[in-house]
Amino acid sequence: MKAKVLHFKKKCTGCSACFGQSPVFWKMDSDGEGFSSLIGAKEIGDHWELEVDTKEAIRANEEAAEICPVNIIHVKKYENK
């Protein structure tokens, strides 16, 4: 199974919950803005996106999504083809 992790960064409040939950995939920006970033993600339209392909990576990002107080992280699972 694979998943796409979607991060709607423009709505981030900088609470660092995702980083605290899953620092392997999330970091806090050092640009002074204080927002979080999904490590390795590419900007696609109005969001940032990262494809993950292990159960551990999917679960870690699901946990980050669950803890996000503004609900701007989404994990969309799909089958390998």
Q: Which residues pair with 5 in a beta bridge?
A: 50, 75
pLDDT tens series, the chain, 81 aa: 999 999 999 999 999 999 999 999 999 988 767 799 999 999 999 999 999 999 999 999 999 999 999 999 999 999 876
Domain boundaries along the sequence of the chain: 2-37+51-78
Smallest CA-to-CA distance from 72 within 39, 38, 22 is with 38
The DSSP code for 11 is: G
**Dist CA 70 CA 48 (whole Å):** 16
Q: Which CATH class, in words, describes the domain spanning 2-37+51-78?
A: alpha beta
What is the reported pLDDT for 81? 63
pTM: 0.91
